[in-house]
């Protein structure tokens, strides 16, 4: 079998909770929940001590407190998370320039060109773990394998605070007994569908005929999972470059998509996305919305504008039109569980160039009188928030902006353009 275990997946363990235990030594060894309280709110992250009692991120605080009476709730030091995660990424970069960061607390590395300097992939993984622990104070798990998919599974098996190296000749021996839930793309719904067919392990999935999986899960999902189960994953590790899109999403539970709800949620998402675009002096031409319906069916709609935009109201209006189109296409009463907005085809927009008056007046053109007024208003609001705080001014009521108790700082860490 060609190639060695030169792809590493490094993943910080219970990152947000581990940071809180690092910053407050009295929390070490104790069950910790970031966010929420015993009276309510949402748990954003949990330490391994809390997870052993069944506490998980996304769980109501009152339920977490019942599962773990000794649970300590902390508000979270959102400003420190990015700083510490960036320091970890700097350590990874000391061993190879080919680092692909895929979230705030995890990344892939290709060390094929580094083994002559630092030793085997297992040796490199060991050094990374030692340095992150000694220099930064955080636990990190590392998986090493021939493919990205297998390296990520290996790092999950290695948790907490471990290292797993899968040599090519032992891939099937390693993969076959593992549960399908460890695979990319297998959430609770897909896991249950597979279990109903008697497929519980990755080995079971390999033994299932590809056409049968495609009928069960859909052509794309079935074919992808069958290939990954065979460890057929040609994706390479690519160094992260300039962000190609900026997005945000909001989970809603099960809600009727009334015009008022859709407008409020899209306005909040547009405010987050457009604010991040303006902060980087950028704008985008292609607006994409994603609507997830009850039953996990997801629909996307996109529209490419003739000029790049970064105005919150413009982005809201474009997204609202796309979501209305997606809802009309359903042709029946529906419930939605998630809305998302992303902007791509990005370009620089440090200033807006005014244009001569053109008929008809189009507020979606940034250079028109209405469009430039929108952009100027947004910039003024950005400045007010920077000086007086995020909630100093906004388009939406605070109850909508809070997004169900999850702080925007936490959402933006997860959505950050890396």
Instruction: Judge contact between 114 and 124, C-beta under 8 A.
Output: yes
Q: Phi and psi at residue 349, in whole multiples of 5°?
A: -150, 75
Catalytic entry in 106, 171, 208, 415: 106
d(CA 285, CA 103): 25
- As beta bridge partners, residue 403 has none
Would you give the distance in Å from CA 343 to the centre of its chain?
A: 16
Handedness of CA 87, 90, 95, 98 (dihedral sign): positive
Which residue intervals of 115-186 are DSSP H helices? 115-118, 121-131, 148-158, 171-175
300: which 2 tokens? 């996307």
Instruction: Judge contact between 309 and 366, C-beta under 8 A.
Output: yes
400: which 2 tokens? 């909508």
Count the Cβ atoms, other than its own, within 10 Å of residue 413. 20
d(CA 360, CA 40): 51
Count the Cβ atoms, other than its own, within 10 Å of residue 223. 15
- As beta bridge partners, residue 46 has 33
d(CA 48, CA 159): 10
Q: Phi-psi category of 334—alpha, beta or left, where left has phi over 0 and alpha has psi -120 to 50?
A: beta
- Beta-sheet strands, E only, within 208-311: 245-255, 282-293, 298-309
Is position 271 annotated as part of the catalytic site? no
Distances (CA, A) of 412 to 32, 193, 272, 273, 350: 22, 32, 8, 9, 22
Sheet holding 245-255, edge to edge: 245-255, 336-348, 282-293, 298-309
Report, as residue numbers or ranges, the catalytic residues: 106
């Amino acid at each position: 079998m060609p190639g060695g275990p030169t792809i590493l997946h490094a993943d910080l363990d219970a990152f947000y909770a581990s940071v809180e235990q690092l910053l407050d030594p009295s929390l070490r060894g104790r069950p910790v929940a970031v966010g929420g309280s015993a009276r309510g709110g949402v748990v954003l992250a949990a330490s391994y001590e809390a997870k052993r009692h069944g506490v998980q991120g996304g769980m109501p605080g009152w339920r977490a407190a019942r599962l773990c009476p000794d649970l300590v709730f902390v508000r979270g030091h959102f400003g420190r998370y990015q700083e510490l995660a960036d320091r970890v990424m700097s350590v990874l970069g000391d061993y190879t320039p080919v680092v692909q960061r895929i979230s705030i607390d995890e990344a892939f590395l290709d060390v094929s060109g580094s083994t002559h300097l630092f030793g085997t992939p297992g040796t490199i993984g060991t050094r990374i773990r030692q340095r992150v622990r000694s220099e930064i104070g955080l636990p990190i798990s590392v998986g090493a394998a021939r493919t990205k998919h297998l390296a990520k599974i290996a790092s999950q098996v290695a948790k907490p605070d471990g290292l797993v190296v899968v040599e090519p000749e032992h891939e099937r021996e390693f993969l076959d007994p593992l549960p399908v839930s460890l695979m990319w793309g297998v959430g609770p719904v897909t896991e249950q569908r597979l279990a109903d067919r008697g497929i519980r392990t990755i080995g079971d999935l390999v033994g299932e005929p590809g056409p049968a999986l495609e009928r069960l899960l859909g052509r794309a999902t079935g074919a992808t999972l069958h290939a990954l189960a065979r460890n057929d994953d040609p994706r390479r590790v690519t160094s992260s470059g300039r962000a190609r899109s900026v997005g945000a999403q909001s989970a809603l539970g099960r809600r009727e998509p009334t015009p008022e709800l859709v407008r409020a949620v899209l306005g909040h998402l547009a405010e987050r996305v457009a604010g991040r675009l303006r902060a980087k002096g950028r704008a985008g031409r292609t607006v994409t919305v994603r609507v997830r319906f009850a039953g996990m069916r997801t629909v996307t709609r996109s529209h490419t504008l003739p000029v790049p935009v970064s105005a919150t109201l413009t982005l809201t209006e474009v997204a609202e039109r796309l979501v209305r189109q997606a809802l009309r296409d359903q042709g029946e009463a529906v419930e939605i569980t998630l809305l998302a907005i992303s902007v791509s085809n990005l370009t620089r927009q440090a200033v807006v160039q005014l244009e001569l008056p053109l008929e008809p007046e189009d507020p979606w053109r940034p250079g028109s009188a209405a469009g430039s007024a929108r952009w100027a208003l947004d910039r003024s609001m950005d400045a007010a928030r920077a000086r007086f705080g995020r909630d100093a001014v906004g388009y939406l009521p605070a109850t909508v902006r809070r997004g169900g108790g999850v702080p925007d700082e936490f959402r933006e860490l997860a959505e950050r353009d890396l």
